Structures are given as structure tokens and as C-alpha cells.
Amino acid sequence: MHPTRRDFLGATAATLAAPAVLANSTVQPRTGGELLTRMTWLNPPARESYADGGVSVRSKGKTDFWRKTYYGYITDNGHFLHTPVKGEFQFTARVSGNYAALYDQAGVMVRFDERIWVKCGSEVFENRRWASVVFTRDFSDWSTMNDLSQNAPVYWRVKRVKDSIEAQCSLDGDKFVTTRQGYFPADVPVEVGIMCAAPEGPGFDAQFDQLLLEPLPR
């Protein structure tokens, strides 16, 4: 039987003495299992299990984050495991998944509310994986490029500086390439974390590990 989030929290809580990151505090470095204990779900997935500082997730079908553009609908039922943070930071996670159906997606997300958010990650369309970024300010704005791999995990990173979010990806977790930079409101508290969704398919399995939330080097 896979451990649940409750099992994971109970097993690790006693070892964590550091205070939580408050929305109005300086960003403190958080990693792996320690960071996961501080995260909560927007729209819990079908299944989840925690081990070795990572989380495996089974997304529900017909889930997505999208607002209006082209399609005309608003969907806000994708899965987002997040923690609050304010100020400038970068958040990184290694992401993999058994992508199969059209628009199966997994990656990271920064969210102010249901109208203002950014998501980036690997996504399936035209029968292959693409590096996908969506900026949303009431209307969603989608861009893509060739994914770094069709089968290997990819590190995804979001960097918040001043009034911007920069989305980056890497195969080795060392050398990152920027996929997109866009406007994001400055000086507002946000939620940051990992996300997945299955807009057209029945759901799929995704894995996230090597999570890292840290202040930006000065």
C-alpha cells in the first residue's frame, strides 16, 4: 500500500524544527521532503504517494488550467501542490510522467489567483512531448518549443524577479535554458509548486522530486 500525504507528514513532522515560510518573510531555502510537508493541494489528484523526498501522482481525467483564449471556456480543476511565498525566488523540480493522451502535462506553477498564474512543463500534442509555457492574465497565452527529451525526466524552474516570471528547463539540473519570460505582478504573495493535468485523456501518472525553493542569489 502506497504511503499517503498524511502518512508522509506524520513520519517527517517530528524532524522539522525550522519555522514555515510566511508570505511576508524572506524566502528560506527548502528542499525535497521538508518542502513537501509545507505544501497543500488545490484540486487533489486521484492518487498520491510520497517517498524519498518526492511525490508520485495520478491525475484525474478532464482536468486543466486554462482561461478563455481560443477555446472560450474556463477550466481551473488541474492539480496543484503548492506553498505560499512572497518576493523574489526560484523554484525547481525534476518532472517525469507516463504522458500518453493529448495535452497530458506536468510541471511547475506560480499562481496569484484563478485569473493570474503561470504554468510550465512537458506536454503532449501531435503525438510527442513539447516544452510548454502558459502565462495567464485573465486570458491564457500559450507558447511551446521542442522538449529536451521525449522520455527522460526534465528539471523545470521558475524564477521570479521584479515584475517577471522566467520559465527554464534542464536535463541535468545544472545547465538551464530559458523557454519564456513574461510579466507577473510584483510585490504580491503567490503560491508556487508542482502541477499536472489531463485535459483530454483519462488521467496519467507523473512523478516529481528534487524540489527546491530558494532565494535568488544577490
Spatial distance between the Cα atoms of 97 and 187, rounded to a whole number of angstroms: 33
pLDDT value of residue 1: 46
pLDDT value of residue 23: 39
Whether residue 77 has pLDDT greater than 90: yes
How many other CB atoms are found less than 10 A from the CB of residue 192?
23
pLDDT value of residue 16: 38
pLDDT value of residue 25: 39
Q: Domain 33-214: which CATH class?
A: mainly beta
> For 80-92, what is the mean pLDDT?
96
> For 87-107, what is the mean pLDDT?
97
Q: Name which of 55, 98, 100, 52 is nearest 80 in CA terms.
A: 55
pLDDT value of residue 6: 45
Looking at per-residue pLDDT, the higher value among 25 and 109 belongs to 109
Beta bridge partners of 193: 82, 109
Please report, for the chain, the start and end positions of each structural domain, with discontinuous segments joined by +. 33-214
> For 49-66, what is the mean pLDDT?
97
Amino acid identity of residue 29, one-letter, is P
- pLDDT tens-place string over residues 142-173: 999 999 999 999 999 999 999 999 999 999 99
Spatial distance between the Cα atoms of 38 and 35, rounded to a whole number of angstroms: 5
Instruction: Collapse the DSSP code of 215 into the 3-class scheme (helix H, G, I; strand E, B; otherwise coil) and give the result.
Output: coil
Q: Name which of 130, 116, 136, 133 is nearest 69 in CA terms.
A: 136
Spell out the residues 6+ positions from residue 21 whose beta carbon is closer than 8 angstroms to its own. Answer: 27, 28, 30, 38, 83, 84, 85, 213
- Work out the end-to-end distance of the chain between its first and last CA atoms, rounded to an integer number of angstroms: 45
pLDDT value of residue 29: 81
Cα angle: 210, vertex 211, 212; to 5 degrees = 115
Whether residue 67 has pLDDT greater than 90: yes
